[in-house]
Structure 1
Amino acid sequence: MSALTFPDAHDGADADALSSLHARLTAAADRDGLLDIAYRTVDTPVGRLMLAATEAGLVRVAYAREDHDAVLAMLAEQVSPRILEAPARLDDAARQLDEYFSRRRTRFDVSLDLRLSRGFRRSVLTHLPDIAYGRTASYAQIAEAAGSPRAVRAVGTACATNPLPLFVPCHRVVRSDGSMGQYAGGAETKRALLTLEAA
Structure 2
Amino acid sequence: MQYGKTDGVVDVVKALQRSNDIYFYKAAEWLGITKLVVWAKRLGIGAPLGIELAGEAGGLMPDPGWKAKQFDTSEDREARNDQWYLGDTYHVGIGQGYLLTTPLQVNAWTNVIANGGKLCKPTIKKQSKEHRAKGTECKDLGIKKETIELITEGMVAACETGGTGWPLFGFGVNVSTRQRIDEKNTDTLTHTSMFSFLF
Larger Rg: 1
TM-score interval for Structure 1 and Structure 2 normalised by the shorter chain: under 0.3
- Structure in which a larger fraction of residues adopt helix: 1
TM-score, normalised with respect to structure 1: 0.26
TM-score, normalised with respect to structure 2: 0.26
